[in-house]
Structure 1
């Protein structure tokens, strides 16, 4: 007659099974996302997208991906030459995609120059079926420094771009989405707000990204619902 299995062994096995199940759920969700048919973004959200900071890195990759999915683009950045370069690249790669550019230094939000750029953005998106907004533009420099070592103006610029700029651009685009009853807003955050609490020597940057993660999400969620 086989010996009875100890209770502690059964408990540990059950705990392990629960842990593996919990670990597999995100993997299965990702697999399902990869296997399902691509979403028609223009039908679900709209035919245009606004992207801030689209000239390099993640912003440029996002712009190219949206263009490949049939979405025309309003590109917003502080450098006119870089904007033109990205617009030309999209035009060559995806000839059917329209692009519009807005030169806007988000660190000037709240100034006369910033107000003028904001009016230009509003005029540009007026009448467009903007269904996606990607708030990608951000400032991470001056990097790892104690506050007393950093240039305070550069820290203030970081706050203006990462927090105030994002808020004003969202406020300019969101009303159209609400009027049409559809849309998606993607705010690019940072793992520094979750993985490394307070993110030593990057506290100001981490705080701005935490604000993006928490405050803006709930503000937009409740506006839409």
Structure 2
């Protein structure tokens, strides 16, 4: 598939400084996308942008934005200016706390929920509206298998990813008739610097079988037109750790949407 023809000319990637976000950036640059790269740390963003410019010659803008700040989504919109953002990838959202809910400072959980819930929702509202008006576009919400159930030590994180999952499914149902694709890319353990750092603080090592950021990004881009869910490591019809398969959830949403449409038409 020619992703640039389907979604171009610009892609905005939040959480692009390393790991999966950087992998998205490199793969999209290779397909001719101009990029807006955002993360909290500017130095690695600029290094990535210089590499992309050298290798692919595309325009690459960078900005340091704390995605847990209340004005983060507004700053993303200001940064984009009047550029046609055809692909929005919201990749930031790792849990760097690694603590039970009551053992962590409330301010840390507030920041996590702001980044994973409020900024995600606001950014989708800002950027998906012009996509719907144009009749084309794509949104990838990078999630986690934690979205399928609560686990000790990641209460706020799992809850925020559960919101993203259900929100993304509904957004897919609303935007699909308008030519806009939405995908929840549900990741498993991925070998990213953030994941390694958290494990190191806990005195743990990286387990075997972790996915590579490059493979995860490639899968997300390949499955975007088929939303609303892609579960890393599972086939479309395989329920596995998700409890119900991506295909089952997709069909359920379609059935409910058709029933609602029928009721409204009566």
Give the CA deviation at 1:172. 1.8
Distance 1:63 1:122 in 2: 19
Alignment of 1:10-159 (within 5 A): 39-95=1-57, 97-109=58-70, 114=71, 118-143=73-98, 145-159=99-113
Give the CA deviation at 1:61. 0.6
Give the CA deviation at 1:161. 0.6
Give the CA deviation at 1:223. 4.3
> 2:225 corresponds to which residue?
none
Give the CA deviation at 1:79. 2.0
| Superposed CA offset, 1:137-195 (max 9, x none) | 1130211x22221111111111011111111222221122112110110000101223x
| Superposed CA offset, 1:81-134 (max 9, x none) | 222122112111212x1112232111112xxxx2xx544432433432321111
Distance 1:220 1:78 in 2: 28
Distance 2:135 2:81 in 1: 16
Distance 2:164 2:75 in 1: 24
TM-score (norm 1): 0.73
Question: Contact conserved, 2:73 with 2:119, CA < 8 A, in 1?
Answer: no
Distance 2:6 2:175 in 1: 19
| Superposed CA offset, 1:42-64 (max 9, x none) | 11122111100001100001110
TM-score (norm 2): 0.62
Q: Which runs of 4+ in 1 moved over 4 A?
A: 117-120
Distance 1:118 1:193 in 2: 23
Distance 1:134 1:179 in 2: 19
Distance 2:2 2:171 in 1: 27
Bigger Rg, structure 1 or 2: 1
> 1:14 corresponds to which residue?
none
Question: Contact conserved, 1:132 with 1:185, CA < 8 A, in 2?
Answer: yes
Unaligned runs of 5+ in 2: 178-266
